[in-house]
A and B are shown apart, each in its own frame.
Chain A
Amino acid sequence: MRTLVTSNQTAIKARRISKRYGGVVALNDLNLEVPYGCIHGLVGPNGAGKSTALRILCGIAQPSGGAASISGFDIENEPERAKATLGYLPEDPSGYDALTVQEFLLFIAKLYNIPRNTAEERVKRYVHQFKLEEHLEKYIGELSRGSMHRVVLCSLFIHEPKVFLLDDPFNSLDPYSSWLLRRILIDKRRQRRAVLLATHMLDIAERICDSFTVLNRGITIAQGTLAQFRVRFGPSSLEEIFLKLTSET
């Protein structure tokens, strides 16, 4: 795998990353460049390769080819430095059942070497924002799926990453949490953080994303802003454009 050289403005860079599982191509030559202060939507049907792309970018999966970097650090050659700047939310997040919510959040903070006082202050802030006060002393194993999701989201914001990789983050969130997450992500964009958002919820993506990559069966079928898509497909919603694009391929 080649090492990528990126400019200071590029938060996420992927060059021709691909992933094969035996004979099955999960992701084929994905090129991606997300600058700071941008929310980029990764959209596509089931099995399009969105989760695979995110797992490669955060270092969970190794690509079969290509190179990727986060905040200028190559994810394969400098994984610890790259990971120190990113926050990843998987599709089906989970925590350690035998730890309480508070213990879990402080554990995650310690993984990022955040001083205890700062960590406690951030835990307090985000727990309040996500309305998790009543769950703070509960064990992770006792939480519902929605609460679990909110706890892992909290753990993500506690170490204040520069780059967010979010896999279907609005899934299983209640309306308030969904609204809150949208607001936080917009705030993060204002703070010049980069967000890569893989989602099925095209209406939300249309509202908050600045640019998009549309994947289908591992192949990039379109990339650009909504305005650029509208030049090509006429004045349509993202959903209509998405349906046209996926039916073409």
Chain B
Amino acid sequence: MWKEFWFSAKRSLTIVLVVEVIAGVVAVSAFLALAMYLLFYAEPTLGKTLISTLVELGLTSTAVSDVIYFILLLFLVSSLVKGFMSSSFGLVMSRADENLVIPSPIAPRSLYMAKKFKGLVMHVLTVTAILLAVFPLIIQVGFQGFELILLFIGFLALMEIYGFTENISYCASRALRHGGSRSRVLAMIILVILTVFIVASPLIMLLDGAAFRLLAHLYPPYMFSQMLLLSPSLDIALGMCALSGETVLLFIIASMVSKSGLRAWVSSPKLAQTRSNFIGIRKNKLIWKTGMIGGSRLIFAKDFWITLRNPSKFFVPIGTVVTLLIFAFFFQTIFILPSYPAGIQLPEGVFLLSTYLVTICILSPAWDSFASERRTLFILKSTPIHPASIIRGKYLLALLQSAIFTSPIIGAISLVLPHTLDVFLVALEVALVLLVSNSVGILVSASYPPAYRGMGPPPFLILLGLPLLCATLTVIIPILLTLCYGNKVLFPFMLLCVLAYVWKASGSCLKRAVQSFVKLQEF
């Protein structure tokens, strides 16, 4: 058995390119060497290191620890997202393996073992490279043999968990795509959550602790042990970034969890009848009309009923919002806020920013507008309906949908947040942000429909780039209005300016969307 495994493993290792391993190790080592040099060893040549600069700026020990913890957690979440969007079995099987190697006379088990073995070799080499990079520090601090082994195993286990998370995440998404059973999908989701929050957290803490010990040795202990803030403004800024970052990460996790769960629920045969009744709303009773807004009303009505009759389109975003609120409430009130240094009041802007980011992230209806027309584009393109009517109809529906999806967030804010915060202001800012963001979403969708969905998973950069684009165009709105709120003279003037900006920005986006739609062919 072992002999067979070894020979097939050897053969497979040759197939999956030894070069891949060498290139990986060289790249990781080069990156590590540069990072470690800037972090710890740059003092003789540059005069200071990255860490010493941060300490001089007033970074506290808690903040350093938070940053390290956050980075390690970020890797974990990125594995989760990568696996969910991947079209092949992540770290274990590539698309080429699935199509070429699996049909060849190699037992799938042997191939899996060989690839796993290759992955393990990669991880061992990477961990060795990391530890070698910080070896001088390890010697100085005086880590014992057992501690070193623990550190090595901890790193290795974490890397395996990253890979495992990616693969489980891939399996969950594959099960969804191929109509996996509800229990199987839910089991996978539970496994992912357990992996992320229970198994990985102690490991991250172990490595975080070790890193902290190294840092404390490098710099005078008093700089790290004091809990008084050296620079409150820097800590508030860091707090805002951390809270906003965590909100986005929570959104991603909540979105994936709720999508998985709800899709499984939707595909459950037991609920088929309920679903059928729901879908059958006004079956054969729809009256198509063109009103004052011409063909836009027709397109709006068509998309509205299609959305309403599609449980995944309708329930999934609502479920995402609800799950997000539950996640955010628990995490922010139970874990994050109490861990803040005593005496520090988080400004309302932190909450506004979180709301704003969630609002941006929730715009999937607009990005999805034309992706869902992939097979029916010929109807819109070959019939005598003006492209502007099509864009207008889709924009109005996207506005309606995103308004419905963001209302629970505004409602939750009014219940949870401090009374000093005016819900009217939040609602106004969200509405104005939605006007611009949806127009950007429609423009991107008309220019590049598969960006959000359609032909396989969206490119990761686009998925991240779209919220960034929306954020860039709209971030000025909440900032200006919040700053001027309360000033009876300045606020109306600023509101007028913002309205003019919203009108101009969304108008030009929609105009460009019409031009893009005219050029849009097949996708």
Q: How far is the CB of A20 from chain B (nearest CB, A)?
A: 13
User: How many Å from the CB of A48 to the closest CB on chain B?
Assistant: 17
From A103, A111, A137, give the contact of B383 (CB < 8 A).
Answer: A111
Interface string of A121-161 (1 = CB under 8 A from B): 00000000000000001010000000000000000000000
Q: Which of B284, B382, B518 contacts A100 (CB 8 A)?
A: B284
Q: Which stretch from B39-47, B51-59, B305-313 is at the chain A interface?
A: B305-313
Q: Is the CB of B295 within 8 A of A111?
A: yes
Complex Cα distance A94/B284, Å?
19
Asked if B382 contacts A110 (CB within 8 A), the reply is: no
B270 at the interface (CB under 8 A from A): no
Q: Is B512 in contact with chain A by the CB < 8 A criterion? A: no
Q: From residue 61 to 83 of chain A, which have CB atoms closer than 8 A to chain B?
A: 61-62, 79-81, 83
Q: In the complex, how many angstroms separate the beta carbon of A172 from the nearest chain B beta carbon?
A: 15
The stretch among B189-197, B208-216, B371-379 that forms the contact with chain A is B371-379
**Minimal Cβ-Cβ distance residue in A for B518:** A62
How many Å from the CB of B517 to the closest CB on chain A? 11
Q: Is the CB of B290 within 8 A of A55?
A: no
**Interface membership of chain B positions 276-291, coded 1 if the CB is closer than 8 angstroms to chain A and 0 otherwise:** 0001000110111110
For residue B284, give the distance in angstroms from its CB to the closest CB of chain A. 5
Would A111 and B521 count as touching, CB distance under 8 A? no
B384 within 8 A of A: yes
A59 with B381: CB separation less than 8 A:
yes
Is there an interface contact between B302 and A83, defined as CB atoms closer than 8 Å? no
Q: Are A96 and B284 in contact (CB under 8 A)?
A: no
When distances are taken between beta carbons in the complex, the residues of chain A under 8 Å from B290 are 110, 113
A95 interface hit (Cβ, 8 Å):
yes
CB within 8 Å of A: which of B303-327? 305-306, 309-310
Cβ contacts A42-65/B at 8 Å (1 or 0 each): 000000000000010011111000
State whether A96 and B283 are in contact (beta carbons under 8 Å apart), knowing that A80-B384, A88-B378, A108-B383 are contacts in the complex: no
The answer to whether residues A98 and B298 also contact, given A110-B288, A137-B284 and a CB cut-off of 8 A, is no
Contact of A96 among B287, B302, B521 (CB under 8 A): B302
Give the docked Cα–Cα distance between A164 and B343 (Å): 76
Residue in A closest to B295 when the chains form the complex, CB atoms = A111
Contact (A59, B382) CB under 8 Å given A94-B375, A113-B290: yes
Q: A83-B383, A107-B298 are in contact. Are A98 and B284 (CB under 8 A)?
A: no
Listed by A's residue number, 26 A-B pairs whose Cβ atoms lie within 8 Å are A58-B378, A58-B381, A60-B378, A60-B381, A60-B382, A60-B521, A80-B386, A83-B382, A83-B383, A83-B384, A84-B384, A86-B382, A90-B378, A96-B306, A96-B376, A97-B306, A98-B279, A98-B309, A99-B305, A99-B306, A107-B288, A107-B298, A108-B383, A110-B288, A116-B287, A137-B283
* Number of residue pairs spanning A and B whose beta carbons lie under 8 angstroms apart: 79
Report the Cα distance A60→B377, complex, angstroms. Answer: 8
How distant is the Cα of A95 from the Cα of B181 in the complex, in angstroms?
Answer: 28
Q: Are A110 and B305 in contact (CB under 8 A)?
A: no
| A81 touching B376 in the complex, CB below 8 Å, given contacts A113-B290, A137-B283 | no
Of the candidates B284, B306, B379, B386, the one having the most CB atoms from chain A within 10 angstroms of its own CB is: B379
CB atoms of A61 and B306 under 8 A apart: no
With both chains docked as a complex, state the minimum distance between the C-beta of A2 and any C-beta of chain B, in angstroms.
Answer: 18
Our pick among A88, A94, A103 for the contact of B376 (Cβ within 8 Å) is A94
- Please name all residues of chain A whose beta carbon is closer than 8 Å to the beta carbon of B381 when the two chains form the complex: 58-60
Tell whether A111 pairs with B283 under 8 Å between CB atoms, given A62-B519, A94-B376, A98-B306: no
Tell me, rounded to whole Å, the shortest Cβ–Cβ distance linking A37 to chain B.
22
**CB pair A88 B375 closer than 8 Å:** no
Residues in A with CB closer than 8 Å to B284 are 100, 102-103, 137
CA–CA, A113 to B521, complex, Å?
A: 25
Q: Does B385 contact A (CB under 8 A)?
A: yes
The docked-state distance in angstroms from the alpha carbon of A49 to that of B37 is 59
Give the complex CA separation of A111 and B289 in angstroms. Answer: 10
A81–B310 CB distance below 8 A: no
Which partner residue on chain A sits nearest B283 by CB separation? A100
A99 vs B308: C-alpha distance when bound (angstroms): 11
Which chain A residue lies CB-closest to B383? A111
Least CB distance from A132 to B in Å reads 14
**Residue numbers in B under 8 Å from A60 (CB-CB):** 377-378, 381-382, 521-522
Across the interface, which residues of A come within 8 angstroms of B375, CB to CB?
92, 94
Kindly state the separation between the CA atoms of A95 and B302 in the bound complex, as whole angstroms.
12
Closest 4 CB pairs of A and B: A94-B375, A84-B384, A110-B288, A88-B382
Q: Which of B290, B518, B521 has the most CB of A within 10 A?
A: B521
Contact at B377–A111, with CB atoms within 8 Å?
no
